[in-house]
Amino acid sequence: MKASSVRICLTPEKEFYLIGYGNRYESRRQPAKGVHDDIYAICSLIEVDNQQLYIFNADYIEFEEASCNEIKAMLAQKYQLNPDLIFFSATHDHHSVMSYHKHWSTGIFDQQYYDSFVEKVEAGYLQCVKELQESEAYYGSGQCLGYYGSRIYYGEEADNEVILVEFRNAEQKTVAALCNWATHSTVLDPENDLLTADLAGAVRNKLAAGIGVYPAMIVGAAGDCSNRAYRQGTDYDELERCAQGCAQQILKIEVNQKLDLHFESCSTVTYHVQYKINDEREYLNAYREKYSLQLAAAQDAQARKLALDNIAQIDRKLQMQDVDLTLYSTIVKCKDLEIVSSPGELGSELGISIKRQSPAKCCLIFGYTNGYYSYILQPRLYQDSARAIGSKYRKEDVLGYMNVIEANL
């Protein structure tokens, strides 16, 4: 097998808007004030039995499905790639640039920036091809504790497992690496008005010093996980504290288990969701009233933010007439390594279940990948979480989607 990776800067060169948190904050309604730290894409190319898996892991909040499909088609035509083996993975950065996104509710789409983004996807692939080296794959896993966990049930863990996969050349130098973790990269306050890669980027920089290469920060099933219950602030000092603590624990993981990689299959499975919202309006309005009372009683900025978030989730669903969409998941099997992608914000219990059901020695969950289909959360959260109650999916939809994925592992 062969592997390589390159890092490409995605920071815009002219005026831009930040993305994330909708239109509730002035920091998103006005142009950004500047750049705190650059945002990047980590481009990784893994070649197994002449099959190339190209991963474009970027400090973006999400990728639009239509854009992913257009770029995949271009790469497939020009370079004979299998489009199902091209992954656009977002770190879910809520303080990233908006310019590439064609349908965001705030900011201004920038065609020039978008064209540059597409060029960088292609340039990253071509540079990876040039730098491909014969490699062996190793992995290790551990827990990252004390800095993030459930953002619904404070004090509970979510999916706190971190999996590191390193691809090493003949000199045992790491030429590409994947860090599969499962938390929102949201340390900073929504009113932050500077571009930053936030937690994922800060941790990545610290991991690079120990690993020898910048790892792709692959966010797994993080829909119900963040540092909300652990944060001691929402500024850049807190970001440094969290990044340092997370990186120290991740770098203690022993990446010494060799993976025997042979390409077996790649398939995309689908699950159709269709129902009308009208039958749920009374139920939704009751929750909206509950969260409105919480907003009225909020004593600090954090409590107010949470109440506003909850109301926004319910309002978004109340504005729908019906739901008619198709969820999908790409599953790549390479003997000891299995990759399972989802365009949604999977709940932690769902990611844990997929990893347990996988027959592979190492299973990676790629959330926020090849599109964005919002929160797909475990059924038990529908009693307590506005993210679940206000999501596009009923409990039975979540279970149906999971059944399709796990039947094809």
Would you place residue 263 in the very low, low, confident or very high pLDDT band (cuts 50, 70, 90)?
very high
Contacts of 97 (CB under 8 A, 6+ apart): 10, 11, 12, 16, 17, 18, 19, 32, 39, 60, 113, 195
Tens digit of each residue's pLDDT (9 = 90 or more) over 47-83? 999 999 999 999 999 999 999 999 999 999 999 999 9
Closest CA to 184 of 138, 228, 130, 122: 228
CA distances from 328 to 269, 273, 385 (A): 6, 11, 24
Residues 6+ apart with CB under 8 A from 391: 313, 317, 374, 375, 376, 377
**What DSSP assignment string belongs to 156-168?**
---S-EEEEEEEE
Average pLDDT over residues 100-119: 98
Q: Which of 213, 218, 234 is nearest to 346 (CA)?
A: 218
Cα–Cα distance for residue pair 212/32, rounded to 1 Å = 32
Q: Which residue has the higher pLDDT, 384 or 226?
A: 226
pLDDT digits (tens, 9 = 90+) for 121-178: 999 999 999 999 999 999 999 999 999 999 999 999 999 999 999 999 999 999 999 9
Count of H-run helices and E-run strands, the chain:
10, 20
Nearest CA among 393, 139, 356 for reference residue 277: 393
- Place 278 in a pLDDT band, splitting at 50, 70 and 90: confident
Banded model confidence at residue 321, pLDDT cuts 50, 70, 90? confident
Comparison of pLDDT for 286 and 408, the residue scoring more: 408
Q: Give the whole-angstrom CA distance, residue 81 versus residue 37.
A: 33
Judged against a pLDDT cut of 90, whether residue 112 lies above it is answered with yes
Percent of the chain's residues with pLDDT above 70: 100
pLDDT at 387: 83
User: Which residue, among 184, 159, 223, has the nearest Cα to 385 in the 3D structure?
Assistant: 223
Q: At what angle do helices 111-131 and 65-79 cross, to 10 degrees?
A: 40
* pLDDT of 277: 86
Residue 31 has pLDDT above 80, yes or no: yes
Residue linked to tokens 């399972």: 340
Q: What is the CB neighbour count within 10 angstroms for residue 234?
A: 19
* Residue 281: per-residue pLDDT: 86
Find out whether 164 and 177 touch, Cβ atoms under 8 Å. yes
Distance, CA of 377 to chain centre: 15
Report domain extents, the chain: 2-259
Handedness of CA 185, 224, 152, 375 (dihedral sign): positive
Q: Which two tokens stand for residue 166?
A: 């390193």
- Calculate the average pLDDT of the chain: 96
Full-model pTM: 0.95
Which tokens sit at 313?
């989730």
| C-alpha of 275 from chain center | 27
Residue (of 368, 405, 367, 330) closest to 86 by Cα position = 330
Do the beta carbons of residue 95 and residue 198 sit within 8 Å? yes
Token pair, residue 396, equals 């039975």
